[in-house]
Amino acid sequence: MQTSCDGLLNLSDEETIRAARRYRNSPQTFVEEVLGVDFWPKQVEIIESVRDNERTAVKACHASGKTKAAADTAVWFLTAHYPSAVITTAPTNRQVAELLWREMRYDYHSAKVPLGGRFYEIPKWQLAD
């Protein structure tokens, strides 16, 4: 099966960034095609709210997929809106480093195509200088 992200293979970082911009208005498509993730409807609402609004707040119970949605949203935003910055926060540093950034690191390394840049062991992902 060929997906529209197949064209991102073997591109330089700059070429990858330019190609990824086509997902700027289609975060759900990015998550499905590039990250290989199927969001459930509330996660789609979250990522589309980030796309459509200056601020998004999510109130939900424990273990509802918020961390996965936040990680995938951050990866989509950084990739599709280069150059950009995403600031990640949580009640504790452990939640940022061990939960959110672990999910982002997994996305980066398991994406169907190279996302470009360098993902550090500390909570930092740099696409270009």
For 51-86, the pLDDT digits (tens) are 999 999 999 888 889 999 999 999 999 999 988 899
- The structure's pTM equals 0.82
The domain of 91 spans 10-126
Domain contains 97: yes
Domain contains 4: no
Domain contains 44: yes
Domain contains 2: no
Domain contains 1: no
pLDDT score at 80: 92
For 110-120, the pLDDT digits (tens) are 999 888 888 88
Domain count for the chain: 1
Domain contains 87: yes
Domain contains 3: no
Domain contains 47: yes
More confident: 51 or 11:
51
Q: What is the DSSP string of 51-118?
A: HH-S-------TTSSHHHHHHHHHHHHHHHT-S-------SSHHIIIIIIHHHHHHHHHH-SS---SE
